[in-house]
Every structure is written in structure tokens, then in C-alpha cells.
């Protein structure tokens, strides 16, 4: 498979862009080799600069639930772009999109649009602290909430440890009020609330972890967080930047029957454009400026092009859409398991709706510590074998595989066949 043009672009990019990329995982450091520079996409496929075609399971990291270049979204966005691309003023589309979100998420009374998932999570935590009038924030190992300082922490040993920075440039003071607990550890969460419950402003969690592979919540985990937050007066924040409108029309909170106080969203609600949002209970959201004393603002927040793309995307998602996604994802899951079994390759799959986590592991993966034990070298070899067969997976073992509505039966069958061959190659190596 040719890669000369991608290699040339990467060399040029490395001279003028940090790492040659605009986001770290795109640099292929986890799998090695040269990243592919993508020139276009259509439905479930992408093409790189060398003309190679791939079945795409990154889908702009889950944002493109309809697939690439959906003609209905493109037509609507093109129409709106003719009227202008940014005004720095309210527009009709953001009202309609906010109404769509509120209709799908009963826990959301009011919404504020921002430009990224990071902006959404950092703003939600600020609103929670302003409302609770406390400082401490509890997060969980392996859950990624963006690159704001307070989220870039290392967890120490024990059930609950005050954290140290996990990134240069993040001061100890920035994370002094952050506590990291093991994901899915009910006992650790209970112990932290018994010890420090009256000091906790907020608990933030990915209800389905999507940044250590895919790891669903253990039975009772989300309910326990809801119960403890209610008792202590802390604000429960669900980071549904990935899962919102991905695992179902009401996100993970509807799927698992647990309502948070605040929800963060992104990806799908922008239809492929930069976007984020946070929303929740009226009394908390009314703490945000201009209604309250918690300040947050943004020049391009509620950008009319992003709002239009997100609005049209949500209009096209129906109950039948999620039924189709479930069937395709289940077929892919079963095909991968069958291929690995025939090859004698140990894998463990976690699937929630159209999100799949593939771990080269002999035991189930329920938290970050177990995810780190999976064989990253095997994933690296599998990635390159699949890429050579025309299947584009995430270039990291700690990312999710996303199925879109554009993946048809032929795409899934071709992927399963390629995976079967790749598993056999792993077994021979």
C-alpha cells in the first residue's frame, strides 16, 4: 500500500507543526510508522493522499454517526453558510439545537454551547463549584475529560489519593483539589464520600469510559455515585461528549437509568464541526453568566455552521437508526470474536451500542489498570495488518472503534474477513 505522499506531508508538517499533527494521537506514536493524511471521505470510507481507500472506524472519533459527507447535512450546511459563517450574536439554529438536546435529555433544563469537549467539561466543573461553593472534584482513572489543568492528574496508590500533575506545565496547585479514584470501584467511591463528602463540589465521570478502550460501568456504579452526590450535596456530572446521541438518543444516562445534575456533550451535536455543550438543572445553569456569577464566554460559541450541522444530524437520527447501529455493531462484534477464536488469539471485547473496545487480553477489562495490562504490541501489529487490508482503526489501543449508519453489510463483512486474516498473522508471529 503506497504511503509516499503521506510520508512527504508528515515530513513537511513536522517542520512547521508540533509533532506534525494538531492532536497527539494522530501522530501514530502508539503504533509507530507514518500517519496517513486523509484527503476525503464518503459514507463509511476515507481516502488518503496516496489514493488508498479505507473502511473507517474512527469516524472523526465518534462524531460522524451518519458517516462521511452525508449529502443531507452538506446541503443544509451549504445553505446556511451562504448567509455567513459567524456573527458573534444569537441565531435561530442554536435555539433549535438546544431544544433538541433538552427534548432528548430530561436531566437538562438549560444548555450553554461552547467550542469543544474540553471547554464543556471545564465549564461544567466551574459551574458546579460555583453552585456547591466547594472546591474538591472527584474523577476516575482512565476517564478523559479534556486537557484542562485540573483533569491532567496522576492517581496514586490506595483508594483515594490527592493527585500530582500528569503533564509538564500543570502545577501542583492546579490539581490540589482533584481526587482520582479507580473506575468501577464502588468501595473506593463510598470511602471517599464518607471521608470528604462535605468538601466535594462535583464528581465527573464518563458513564461509559471511551478513552481506555471502551469500558462500561459496573452494576450499581453509576447509581452509587448518584446516591452519594445527592446525600452530600455534590454535583454529579456525566461526561457524555462521546456517548451523547451515540449509545442512544438520551445518551448513557437513559441507557442506564441514572440522571446526573450536569451533562457535557460534543462530537455528534456538531455533525463534524467543532462544538461542545454543557447543560443540566436550572438552578445550577442559572449560576452561569449572564444569569449568575460564574463567568464563561466564547467568540465562536454557538457558531451557526456547527449548529446547523448538528441540528440536521440530530433530525436524521431516529429510533430505527439506533436499531440499525445495534445490528451492525453486534455483527461486527460477533465476527471479531469468531475470527480471533478460530485463530487462537486471546481478545476481549467490550461493546456498548456502536462503541467497541478491542483488548488483546485473556480477562475482562473493567478499569484502567486492567486495560493497561492488555497486549499493546499485539494491537500495534493488528492495526498495521488491518490498515494494509484497507481498514482504518484507531491508532491506539486505548481508543474506541465506532460504527456509523453508513457502514453497510459489505463493509462489516469485509472488516470481519480482514480481521480473521490479521488474527491468523498474529498467531504465526
Torsion angles phi and psi, residue 236, rounded to 5? -95, 120
Instruction: Give the integer Cα–Cα distance in Å for 333 and 376.
Output: 20
Task: Return the C-alpha cell found at 98.
Answer: 438546544
CB count in 10 Å sphere of residue 304: 22
Placement of cell 506545565 in the chain:
169
144 is catalytic: yes
Active-site entry in 70, 239, 261, 375: 239
Residue where the block lists cell 433544563: 109
- Please list, residue by residue across 209-239, b when 16 or more beta carbons sit within 10 angstroms of its beta carbon and e when fewer do: bbbbbbbbbeeebbebbbbbbeebebbbbbb
- What element of type H or E holds 278? strand 276-280
Identified catalytic residue from 43, 80, 136, 267: 267
Q: What are phi and psi of 101, to 5 degrees?
A: -65, -45
Query: Phi/psi zone of residue 220: left (φ > 0), alpha (ψ -120 to 50 degrees), beta?
Result: left
Q: What are the C-alpha distances in Å from 339 to residues 35, 152, 193, 350, 359? A: 27, 38, 45, 16, 14
Which residue is catalytic, options 144, 256, 322, 368? 144
Residue 428 C-alpha cell reads as 504465526
Q: Phi/psi at 9 (nearest 5 deg)? A: -65, -40
List active site positions: 144, 239, 267
Amino acid at each position: 500500500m503506497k504511503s509516499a505522499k503521506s510520508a512527504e506531508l508528515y515530513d513537511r508538517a513536522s517542520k512547521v507543526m508540533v509533532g506534525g499533527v494538531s492532536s497527539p494521537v494522530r501522530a501514530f506514536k502508539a503504533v509507530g510508522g507514518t500517519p496517513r493524511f486523509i484527503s476525503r471521505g464518503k459514507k463509511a470510507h476515507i481516502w488518503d493522499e496516496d489514493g488508498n481507500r479505507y473502511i473507517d472506524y474512527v469516524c472523526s472519533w465518534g462524531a460522524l454517526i451518519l458517516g462521511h459527507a452525508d449529502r443531507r447535512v452538506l446541503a443544509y450546511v451549504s445553505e446556511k453558510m451562504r448567509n455567513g459563517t459567524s456573527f458573534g450574536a444569537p441565531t435561530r439554529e442554536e435555539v433549535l439545537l438546544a431544544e433538541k438536546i433538552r427534548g432528548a435529555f430530561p436531566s437538562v433544563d438549560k444548555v450553554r454551547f461552547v467550542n469543544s469537549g474540553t471547554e464543556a467539561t471545564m465549564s461544567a466543573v466551574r459551574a458546579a463549584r460555583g453552585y456547591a461553593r466547594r472546591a474538591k472534584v472527584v474523577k476516575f482513572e482512565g476517564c478523559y475529560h479534556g486537557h484542562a489543568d485540573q483533569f491532567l492528574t496522576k492517581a496514586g496508590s490506595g483508594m483515594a489519593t490527592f493527585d500530582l500533575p500528569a503533564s509538564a506545565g500543570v502545577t501542583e496547585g492546579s490539581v490540589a483539589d482533584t481526587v482520582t479514584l479507580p473506575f468501577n470501584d464502588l468501595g473506593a467511591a463510598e470511602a471517599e464520600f464518607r471521608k470528604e463528602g462535605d468538601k466535594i463540589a462535583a464528581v465527573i465521570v464518563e458513564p461509559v469510559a471511551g478513552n481506555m478502550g471502551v469500558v462500561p460501568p459496573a452494576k450499581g456504579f453509576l447509581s452509587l455515585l448518584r446516591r452519594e452526590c445527592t446525600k452530600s450535596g455534590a454535583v454529579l456530572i456525566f461526561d457524555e461528549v462521546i456517548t451523547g446521541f451515540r449509545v442512544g438518543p438520551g445518551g448513557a444516562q437513559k441507557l442506564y437509568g441514572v440522571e446526573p445534575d450536569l451533562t457535557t456533550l460534543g462530537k455528534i451535536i456538531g455533525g463534524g464541526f467543532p462544538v461542545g455543550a454543557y447543560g443540566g438543572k436550572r438552578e445550577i445553569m442559572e449560576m452561569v453568566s449572564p444569569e449568575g456569577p460564574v463567568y464563561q464566554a466564547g467568540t465562536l460559541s454557538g457558531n451557526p455552521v456547527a449548529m446547523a450541522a448538528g441540528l440536521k444530524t440530530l433530525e436524521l437520527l431516529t429510533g430505527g437508526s439506533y436499531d440499525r447501529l445495534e445490528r451492525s455493531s453486534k455483527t461486527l462484534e460477533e465476527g471479531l470474536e469468531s475470527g480471533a477464536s478460530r485463530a487462537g488469539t486471546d481478545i476481549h471485547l467490550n461493546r456498548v451500542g456502536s462503541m467497541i473496545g478491542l483488548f488483546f487480553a485473556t480477562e475482562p477489562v473493567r478499569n484502567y489498570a486492567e486495560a493497561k495490562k492488555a497486549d499493546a504490541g499485539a494491537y500495534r501489529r493488528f492495526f498495521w495488518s488491518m490498515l494494509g487490508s484497507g481498514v482504518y482503526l484507531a491508532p491506539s489501543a486505548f481508543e474506541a472503534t465506532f460504527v456509523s449508519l453508513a457502514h453497510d453489510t459489505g463493509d462489516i463483512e469485509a472488516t470481519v474477513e480482514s480481521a480473521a486474516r490479521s488474527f491468523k498473522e498474529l498467531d504465526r508471529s
